[in-house]
Amino acid sequence: MDQDIKYKLIGSDNMDILYGTNFINMIKSINPEARDASGSREVVMRCPFCGDSHNQRAAHFYISVPTNQDDLSFYDCKLCPAHGLLTDEILRKIGCSDSTAMIQLATHNARVLKLPKYKSLKKINIYPLNNN
């Protein structure tokens, strides 16, 4: 793996996504300035789209923490229109270079998006990724 990993990737024979504390640790290993928010239900960091603030304590980019293997993780910037499903492209945008984590997230999203509870979810990434 490309980074000094402080989280455990879960094998696809059990579960195919990180969630809970393991997910938080993954995000913090990608972006050490990320911190828990909302009682560890979210992780907050500077927005990779708008940059939101030079003060890390005033970050506005929130990532929801999945609580089980059938949850999705969403992101939302409180200052710009960036919000949607956390995908491998967004992981890359926030600094992830761990290809295993990105593949695992893409595989997880593909499986979970087929579940009945997400059937009505339509276009989920509204902020263009090619805005750099």
Would you state the pLDDT for residue 118?
Answer: 81
Residue 72 corresponds to which tokens in the numbers above?
Answer: 């999705």
Kind plus residue range of the DSSP H or E element containing 27 = helix 21-30
The mean pLDDT value for 58-84 works out to: 91
Q: How many angstroms separate the CA atoms of 14 and 7, rounded?
A: 16
Arithmetic mean of pLDDT, 53-77 = 87
CA-closest candidate to residue 35, choices 66, 56, 9, 7: 56
Q: How confident is the model over 65-89, as a mean pLDDT? A: 91
pLDDT tens, position by position, 95-129: 998 888 888 888 888 888 888 888 777 545 544 44
CB 25 within 8 A of CB 72: no
Tokens describing residue 3:
């980074």
